[in-house]
A and B are shown apart, each in its own frame.
Chain A
């Protein structure tokens, strides 16, 4: 639930606890993680400007888009960017991450141009410098003291190109335990990395939001071409699955559907619930005294071999001696064969009933009819 995520980010960190952190992950089958990231970014910005969130500033570490893109996006989403110097800082790791343009400009080959409104960072391999710069920018926004700010990392995937996992994890855990950080969120393209990377980042986060495609098959080419428009439509939709780690140690799982539009991403709730989660956790119960609905219906349908069925039909005496049926009990046998076929069609269950009196010879002294309750 995107709202719950934004609320958690708005509420921020408690004293003495790690700051809430969000991993947004997507795959090539449904590459809309960036849409979710920008959605969270605009929501967080709105809340910061309105003064409703714990954090008073936002530092965006931009690897995959330029700072001007973010400012334009925020303007389009209705966030006031005129006063942006006061509450947002965008750390530009997009323009010149390794400092090559700077070197070329120094040697006179390229004209140098500076980007306004953003802080240019040219040394992405130095994670300590990045960390201190983030903290510096943040405290520049909110001042020293008890006020906190949030950090958004555009793409941890890009960060991991330059810096090994342990350093990225160290950066994130340092930021989380820092007094001035209110919340952190980042985007990750999970299919590019090893499983270890994804699980490590999930380990460090308190919320994991994954963007998945609607159709289960990973191969986009399945389905005939006639359904291409349907496929295309479905491609813009997907499932949004969030796992929250709560303070008491339980995990809240939420599901939504999203729809990618020109203006941004829209979330709708989904009603189907998944009941398979619990089955792996609890050891298998030995026996089950509960009946499901289906089982109850089938139980009601079974024809019992009692003389009274209780449904107003004429009494049928089921005689186990079917072999003698044709001459003496012609009608009855026809009825019984009917009822037995009815039984068979009712779910395949049969009750085979042998009356004790079947053992006796038909011409014995006792009249079996004496025992009947008609």
Chain B
């Protein structure tokens, strides 16, 4: 399935070799970028299809809740399921033990029922919500022709690009016992240079200039500035580490995600780190049994936390992304599946219930239609 782009200019981009293979794990994004899945379909949708290759995602942790681990787990599992090499760094003594707790893709039976409903729902929507469809599948469309044809191909493909993960089923061992998975413990490293070297050597396998690269690399660094690491005091060194990682990742066919406890980094450095991120999200804990919050939000019982999206990756473009909602609620459906939803605030009700539904505002559609070029 080649992307039938209607060329508006004679300039043609030098696409990396991976695109010609058209593997399901990489999808074409807007502005000549390629996207990989974050492991959470709802997050992919909010970010515009997925995480662009070469971007650095930073997650600001809340010291009171482990929600960043949910994001990390899904990200790592998605990479392992697609057999992408992974480098994982964490402050615990035995990072490899964590791999045993990664979630497994949910069984096809559950998957099918979900996407089947989605198809049915979307099937109804084609008839009258024409514009909204453009917004959702923007990445696959540069023109209006062949839109409906693409639609079904995208849905078919979607199952492979991004999986639903069942947090209660651990990943099969064969996914992470290969050579392509590397783990580092950041706890006893005397300084950050050792971590930097490992990252650089890992990323050298994915250089864009190399035509033989077959897959994307993923780097996951957990709790970069945790207090038990010796290097947490050296703020300038950590800053230069993040900067060099960002530049190396940008020129590689890879994606990196770093989580850090924002309350433990001094305010000025926290701001600097935030500026370095291509994609910045933060997670927040919510109080338990809070009557005020229960009155304000519907579905409060299922919500475990909030996810705030501060910055969406915009590579190769100056057009800013206008999100419909920057605060999403993190829910665990049946305590197994991670779902991100727009907040339902009383008294506004109903239409923004599921992750498929949008708030139905015309402003959303019009901002997205601006990126179509005729």
Contacts and interface: CB of A to CB of B under 8 A. Distances in A.
Interface of A: 164-166, 169-170, 172-174, 177, 196, 199-204, 243-246, 248-253, 273, 275, 277-279, 281-283, 285-290
B227 interface: yes
Contact of A248 (B227, B287, B304, B326): B304
B65 A250 contact: yes
Interface of B: 63-67, 91-93, 187, 226-230, 232-233, 261, 263-264, 266, 284-293, 296-297, 304-306, 326-327, 330, 332, 343, 345-348
A169 B228 contact: yes
Contacts of A204: 227-228
Interface SS, A side: mixed
Contact of B305 (A172, A250, A285, A288): A250
A279 B293 CA distance: 8
Given A249-B65, A288-B347, A203 B285 contact: no
Contact of B92 (A177, A244, A246, A283): A177
**Top 9 A-B pairs, shortest CB-CB distance:** A200-B227, A169-B227, A250-B288, A278-B293, A249-B65, A252-B288, A169-B228, A203-B63, A170-B228
B242 to A, nearest CB: 19
B287 A251 contact: yes
B63 A202 contact: yes
Contacts of B285: 245, 249-251
B228 A173 contact: yes
A169 B296 CA distance: 38
Contacts of A275: 291-292
B290 A200 contact: no
Contacts of B65: 245, 249-251
B187 A170 contact: yes
Contacts of A200: 227, 264
Contact of A251 (B227, B228, B286, B326): B286
Nearest to A166: B230
Contacts of A250: 65, 285-288, 304-305
B216 to A, nearest CB: 30
B264 A196 contact: yes
A288 B291 CA distance: 17
A157 B29 CA distance: 53
Nearest to A164: B233
B254 to A, nearest CB: 29
Given A249-B67, A250-B304, A277-B292, A199 B230 contact: no
B317 to A, nearest CB: 26
Contacts of B67: 249
Contacts of B229: 166
Given A196-B264, A204-B227, A281 B91 contact: no
A170 B304 CA distance: 29
B296 A282 contact: yes
B264 A285 contact: no
A170 B293 CA distance: 36
Nearest to A276: B292
Contacts of B93: 174, 177
Contacts of A202: 63
Contacts of A288: 347
Given A203-B263, A250-B304, A290-B347, A166 B228 contact: yes
Contacts of A283: 326-327, 343, 345
Contact of A203 (B92, B233, B264, B347): B264
Contacts of B233: 164, 166
Given A243-B64, A278-B290, A285-B296, 12 more contacts: A166-B230, A169-B227, A169-B228, A199-B264, A203-B226, A245-B65, A249-B304, A250-B305, A251-B65, A251-B286, A282-B327, A283-B326
B292 A278 contact: yes
B302 to A, nearest CB: 10
Contacts of A201: 227
A285 B292 CA distance: 14
